[in-house]
């Protein structure tokens, strides 16, 4: 019997069915086994990133407490908009190498601040990319924009709401657009039902000190209106956001390999490529899509070295070493 099978047999029998279900997803089985039972097993590396996050803009019209953008945007040397030509280069490679990769043309900014966001989405869909998703704060999604988004071919949209009242929304977002966002969301729900029933709508809620009391009512209200409700733990984003916002601390016995290393790459507006979403300043980005293809970067010696370190249980990389978000990622 192999070592991995021997370790599985030792776990509680009533949990074996859970493990079997997770084995259907081989890219995540090693991370699951380590998190649940302390079994160290290397995840399978795909030939091309399963997800590509493209930072088409770093601009944002809000300043949420839990988001580093509110801090970094004060630095005039940080951020900008991605050139459409660079975006097309990235999409062309994805369409050629693996059109099934999830494309998310956003990361640190509000994607709808780009007037051509629908054009960017349509370019990806016309190239054969199977799944395109964006995350928005919803403030700019008026009726005209809603029709354009639905017509663009976008597959999924997530509204980052983080509140169930105007008072809490203002505490989290530092502005009071709550009712405007609710109206925009409910309009999109109605349009989806009549125009594109296959379109997926998700609402999300990041738990923190100022809003955790609304978490349950938020979920109960929206779960029958949208396709998915996502409740997230608070992230510190590599120390860029103060830990005081965390509503509770998780106690994991084992630190597991970060799933991001096997799941995604993040391309900055300037072409730099990050291995971690939380490295907003790209201080540890050693690659650039102007110089290499995404596939070359994905299989680079530097990337593989970092994966191997995580598999061995070594988290001494300067950025990984300071990470506390591993407790809530995965």
Tell me whether residue 175 is in a domain: yes
Say which range, 8-17, 26-35, 247-256, has the weakest mean pLDDT.
8-17
Q: Are residues 190 and 61 in the same domain?
A: yes
Say which range, 134-148, 268-282, 314-328, has the weakest mean pLDDT.
314-328
SS3 213: helix
Say which range, 138-142, 149-153, 243-247, 287-291, has the weakest mean pLDDT.
243-247
- The per-residue pLDDT for 43 is 76
Q: Are residues 13 and 81 in the same domain?
A: no
Q: Is this prediction's pTM over 0.85?
A: no
- The per-residue pLDDT for 256 is 81
Q: Are residues 26 and 116 in the same domain?
A: no
> What are the start-end ranges of the H helices in the chain?
3-9, 16-22, 26-37, 69-72, 84-97, 117-126, 143-152, 166-173, 178-195, 215-222, 260-263, 294-298, 301-312, 318-321
pLDDT, tens digit, 9 for 90 and up, residues 266-286 = 999 999 999 998 888 888 888
CATH number at residue 71: 3.20.20.70
Pairing outcome for strands 264-267 and 51-54: parallel
Q: What average pLDDT does this structure show over 181-206?
A: 98
* % residues pLDDT > 70 (the chain): 79
For residue 88, CA distances in Å to 52, 64, 234, 313 come to 13, 30, 33, 38
- The per-residue pLDDT for 47 is 98
How far is Cα 126 from Cα 231, in angstroms, rounded to an integer? Answer: 32
Residue 88 pLDDT more than 70? Answer: yes
DSSP state, 287?
E
Q: What average pLDDT does this structure show over 309-329?
A: 86
Q: Are residues 25 and 79 in the same domain?
A: no
Is there a contact between 222 and 229 (Cβ–Cβ < 8 Å)?
Answer: yes
Q: Are residues 28 and 115 in the same domain?
A: no
Q: Are residues 198 and 299 in the same domain?
A: yes
Is there a contact between 36 and 15 (Cβ–Cβ < 8 Å)?
Answer: yes
Helix (H) or strand (E) holding 51: strand 51-54
Query: pLDDT grade, residue 257 (50/70/90)?
Result: confident
How far is Cα 200 from Cα 75, in angstroms, rounded to an integer? Answer: 35
Is there a contact between 37 and 30 (Cβ–Cβ < 8 Å)?
Answer: no
Domain ranges, residue 315: 51-327
Tell me whether residue 46 is in a domain: no
Is there a contact between 172 and 160 (Cβ–Cβ < 8 Å)?
Answer: no
pLDDT, tens digit, 9 for 90 and up, residues 16-63 = 444 444 443 444 555 455 555 454 556 789 999 999 999 999 999 998
Compare 311 and 32 and report the one with higher pLDDT.
311
How far is Cα 106 from Cα 109, in angstroms, rounded to an integer? Answer: 7
Residue 130 pLDDT more than 60? Answer: yes
Query: pLDDT grade, residue 241 (50/70/90)?
Result: very low
Say which range, 3-7, 39-43, 116-120, 180-184, has the weakest mean pLDDT.
3-7
Q: What average pLDDT does this structure show over 133-149?
A: 98
Tell me whether residue 43 is in a domain: no
SS3 131: strand
- The per-residue pLDDT for 67 is 84
Query: pLDDT grade, residue 211 (50/70/90)?
Result: very high
Q: Are residues 13 and 88 in the same domain?
A: no
Q: 292-295: list long-range contacts, CB under 8 Å, 24+ apart.
A: 293/93, 294/48, 294/49, 294/52, 294/90, 294/93, 294/94, 294/97, 294/265, 294/267, 295/47, 295/48, 295/93, 295/97
Structure tokens at 10: 């030792």
Q: Are residues 28 and 81 in the same domain?
A: no
DSSP state, 57?
B
Q: Are residues 170 and 133 in the same domain?
A: yes
- The per-residue pLDDT for 2 is 52
Q: Are residues 81 and 229 in the same domain?
A: yes
SS3 244: helix
Query: pLDDT grade, residue 137 (50/70/90)?
Result: very high
Residue 97 pLDDT more than 60? Answer: yes
Tell me whether residue 265 is in a domain: yes
Tell me whether residue 45 is in a domain: no
Tell me whether residue 42 is in a domain: no
Tell me whether residue 210 is in a domain: yes
Burial status of residue 165 (CB atoms within 10 A of its CB: 0-12, 13-18, 19 or more): middle
Count of domains forming the chain: 2
Q: Are residues 28 and 134 in the same domain?
A: no
Structure tokens at 94: 């994805």
- The per-residue pLDDT for 284 is 86
Tell me whether residue 28 is in a domain: yes
* % residues pLDDT > 90 (the chain): 66
Is there a contact between 258 and 250 (Cβ–Cβ < 8 Å)?
Answer: no
Pairing outcome for strands 156-160 and 200-206: parallel
Residue 237 pLDDT more than 50? Answer: no
Q: Are residues 250 and 279 in the same domain?
A: yes
How far is Cα 43 from Cα 25, in angstroms, rounded to an integer? Answer: 10
Compare 39 and 306 and report the one with higher pLDDT.
306
């Amino acid at each position: 019997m192999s070592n991995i099978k021997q370790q599985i047999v030792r776990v509680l029998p009533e949990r074996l069915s859970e493990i079997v279900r997770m084995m259907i997803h081989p890219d995540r089985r090693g991370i699951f086994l380590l998190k649940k039972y302390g079994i160290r097993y290397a995840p399978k590396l795909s030939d091309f990133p399963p997800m590509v996050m493209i930072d088409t803009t770093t601009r944002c019209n809000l300043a949420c407490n839990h988001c580093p953008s509110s801090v970094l945007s004060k630095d005039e040397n940080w951020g900008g908009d991605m050139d459409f030509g660079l975006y097309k280069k990235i999409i062309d490679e994805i369409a050629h190498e693996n059109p099934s990769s999830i494309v998310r043309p956003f990361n640190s900014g509000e994607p709808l601040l780009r007037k051509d966001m629908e054009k960017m989405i349509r370019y990806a869909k016309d190239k054969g990319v199977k799944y395109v998703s964006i995350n928005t704060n919803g403030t700019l999604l008026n009726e005209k924009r809603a029709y354009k988004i639905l017509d663009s071919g976008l597959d999924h949209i997530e509204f980052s709401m983080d509140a169930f009242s105007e008072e809490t929304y203002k505490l989290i977002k530092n502005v009071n657009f709550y009712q405007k966002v609710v109206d925009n969301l409910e309009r999109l729900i109605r349009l989806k039902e009549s125009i594109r029933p296959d379109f997926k709508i998700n609402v999300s809620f990041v738990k923190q000190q100022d809003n955790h009391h609304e978490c349950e009512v938020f979920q109960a209200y929206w779960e029958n209106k949208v396709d998915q409700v996502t409740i997230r733990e608070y992230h510190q984003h590599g120390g860029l956001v103060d830990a005081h916002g965390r509503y509770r601390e998780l106690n994991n016995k084992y630190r597991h390999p970060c799933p991001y290393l096997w799941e995604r790459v993040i391309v900055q507006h300037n072409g730099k490529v990050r291995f971690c979403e939380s490295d907003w300043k790209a201080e540890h980005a050693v690659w650039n899509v102007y110089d290499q293809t995404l596939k070359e970067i994905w299989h680079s010696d530097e990337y593989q070295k970092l994966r191997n370190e995580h598999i061995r249980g070594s988290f001494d990389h300067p950025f990984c070493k300071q990470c506390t978000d591993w407790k809530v990622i995965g």
